[in-house]
Amino acid sequence: MTERPSDFLALESLRILLIDPDPIFCLGLRTCLRQAGVGEIVAEATDGNAALLAIARASAPSAVGQVKPSLDLIILDPLVPSTAPRAGQFLFQQLKVKFPTLPILLLGEATATESLPLAIAAGVEGYAPSTTPIEQLVAIMRQIARGDRFWTVEAQVLPSHPASSPPAQVSTRGGQWRHHLLLPGMAQMDSSLAELQAYLGRSQLSILDRLVLEGRCREIGCARWLVQRLLPGSPAQSLSPQPSRAISAPPVVLAATPNLPIAPIEFTTLKSLLFDATLIKCQTGLPNLSGEAQEIDILRPDKKRELLLVVLRQFEDLLDKLRQSQVTLMQLNDKRSQLLLDLWQAATTDFFGKYYTLPLARPGQPPVPPEAELVTTLLQGQSLVEAAILDKIPLLIELIEHLLFQLPLPVDNTARPAGSSEALQQAEWLLQNLLVQVANAVVQPLLNRFADVEAIKQNFYDRRVISTREIERFRNALSWKYRYRYLINEPTEMFESQFRLIVLGDRGLEKVGIYIPRDQELRQLGGLRLVVTLALEARDAIAPPLRSTVAWLGRGLIYLLTQVIGRGIGLIGRGILQGIGHSWQDIQLSRRSQQPKQ
């Protein structure tokens, strides 16, 4: 294959050899690729002999006299047998021996995953199920043609064929002894996971116990995934699959930039890393160190922690439901508002209890029925909660796409691949800000309708904010917060191209800023909010020269006071002191001269 830069491959039409025995599938794929404009299928083959003949016809002499195939990519059904007489050998093994630099993408059904351990050992660049959407398949093809690798494996992976073995050029003895060393540990992890799953099936578990057990399951699953993939030569696919509540849909990994290789990471592993880190930080007292009032500050520490854990669990359930429904990237943007409302409603119902009923209200309270079903009344504040809190949550769809499809996450206006440290930190902040804001949205209708109800105060409120005066002071602080945020904070954040998030720090709730271009929002500002940005711009324009002028005047004043006036005063004082000294000496000499001589 001729050497070309990756940027050139991103624009050029790829030359593809398609090897598949199904003519209907070949016709459909050829039509889809032509419409997508990704490349041209220059040759097709149904078996190994026809494939080798097609590669020979597409070959051209290189600069050093060797023969290299002038193809950019081979798309191959994994189960096509080789032309060698040796039983159990696949065509991709034979092609990798003959043409090691020619990229190969295995495209097949889920039943073909039994050959994937052999494909990894042979050096094949990637695999994708035949059900992969065409837009994702196009991205995978370009990624592999650039020289990167792409691997996605079904959750239920069949063991490799006993009779199958990699080609003679690939040594597997190291992989075999690693495999035998791994088996006891993997069996122990599988046993622990099965035991934890049995405990999770019990209905009498508390919310905290259930979340701790689920976190333990994710920890073991993450360790299992790391063992399978970080140790070279370990036949991961031949091991028994781990039990998991997640839906077995293949993860999707797309390239962020042409020059940045991506290590594939599964949905379960990525979710475990983020959710476990957040779960650990939820165990603190969660004091508010952000300098900005939050609705959840009125709750007792244990209730605040419980609410955040409820929102975390409901968001996890939401992600699983999205995977079950096989939602596409195009559908997520249209469902943003509905997803947030569903999350808020589920968290409200779970936290307070669907059938929780308030006792009789005290006189002077807002008009409510003598016995009000709390959740039903709180959910009536949907429009206010949506406008004040839910619509303000940033980058929700980007976070969901990152978790479900492992798409790159924007960090400082640069796409960072899933699994990178920058993307993990950004995703953790976005997840924690989502939890805090949805928890605020759960508490806000309670403060609007039942703020001073005694049953609510006794069951939920912090003891420091239990009197009527403290409750009203707290509500006034929240009211001023939203006014100030609308008039000052939001225009300032737009002007500074950032979002300020409330995250779970090591000591409590903290505020962090992330860079996001917001020029379009800035151009739509008007009224007093626009005046704020103009005042900021004027201050930025005037402040530097004004500071320089003040600094210059200050230095001049200091020079005048120290070098001129100070020295003058010093000279005068020195003269006075010298005069006093001389006078004192004269007086002493006069006294000595007047003393009678002995």
Q: In degrees rounded to 5, what are phi and psi of residue 357?
A: -120, 130
Strands 414-416, 409-411: pairing is antiparallel
How would residue 338 be classed by pLDDT, with cut points 50, 70 and 90? very high
Name residue, tokens 């903290």. 510
Q: What pLDDT, on a 0 to 100 scale, did the predictor assign at position 6?
A: 41
CA angle 238, 239, 245 (to 5 degrees): 125
Indicate the DSSP class of residue 414.
E
State pLDDT tens for residues 117-133. 778 878 888 888 888 88
Residue 311 has pLDDT above 90, yes or no: yes
Q: How far apart are CA 390 and CA 194, in angstroms?
A: 38
* Distance from C-alpha of 474 to C-alpha of 457, rounded to nearest angstrom: 13
Average pLDDT over the chain, rounded to an integer: 76
Which pLDDT band, with edges at 50, 70 and 90, does 427 fall under?
A: very high
Of the pLDDT bands very low, low, confident and very high (cuts 50, 70, 90), residue 499 is: very high
Domain extents in the chain: 1-151, 267-525
CB 144 within 8 A of CB 102: no
What tokens appear for 274 in the block? 């983020």
Question: What's the whole-number mean pLDDT along residues 251-268?
Answer: 45
Helix, strand, or coil here: 254? coil
Top pLDDT among 281 and 476 is at 476
Kindly indicate the confidence band of residue 286, based on its pLDDT and cuts at 50, 70 and 90: confident
Identify the pLDDT of residue 22.
84
**Range ranked top by mean pLDDT from 76-90, 95-109, 263-277, 433-447:** 433-447
Half-sphere exposure of 161 (CA within 13 A, CB side): 17
Per-residue buried b or exposed e for 98-109, using 16+ beta carbons within 10 Å of the residue's own CB: ebeebbbbbbbe
| Burial class, 473, CB count within 10 angstroms (exposed 0-12 / middle 13-18 / buried 19+) | exposed
- Report pLDDT for 25: 83
Of all residues in the chain, the percent with pLDDT exceeding 90 is 21
Contact 127, 105 (CB under 8 A): yes
466/116 Cα distance (integer angstroms): 62
pLDDT above 80: residue 532? yes
| Cα dihedral 452→478→476→494 (10° resolution) | -160
Residues 240-249, mean pLDDT to the nearest whole number: 33
pLDDT band at 263 (very low <50, low <70, confident <90, very high): very low
Indicate the range of 77-91, 165-179, 278-292, 368-382 predicted with least confidence. 165-179
Q: Is the pLDDT of residue 390 over 90?
A: yes
pLDDT of residue 172: 34
pLDDT score for 224: 65
1-60 tens-digit pLDDT: 444 444 434 445 788 999 988 888 888 888 888 877 777 888 888 888 888 888 877 765
Architecture of domain 1-151: 3-Layer(aba) Sandwich (3.40)
Contact 104, 124 (CB under 8 A): yes
| pLDDT in the model for residue 225 | 64
Provide CB contacts within 8 A for 491, sequence distance 6+.
Answer: 525, 529, 530, 532, 533
Band (pLDDT 50/70/90 cuts) for residue 443 is very high
Output the pLDDT for position 130. 82
Whole-number pLDDT of residue 366: 55
Band (531; pLDDT cuts 50, 70, 90): confident
- pTM score above 0.85: no
Does the structure show a pLDDT above 90 at 250? no
Residue predicted with more confidence, 110 or 558: 558
Work out the percent of the chain whose per-residue pLDDT is above 70.
73
* Residue 157 confidence (pLDDT): 38
Mean pLDDT calculated for residue range 135-163: 65
DSSP state of 81: B
pLDDT for the residue 273 = 82
369 dihedral zone (left: phi>0; alpha: psi -120 to 50; beta): beta
| 271 against 392, higher pLDDT | 392
pLDDT of residue 177: 38
Q: Say yes or no to pLDDT of 280 above 90.
A: no
**How many whole angstroms separate alpha carbon 166 and alpha carbon 445?**
64
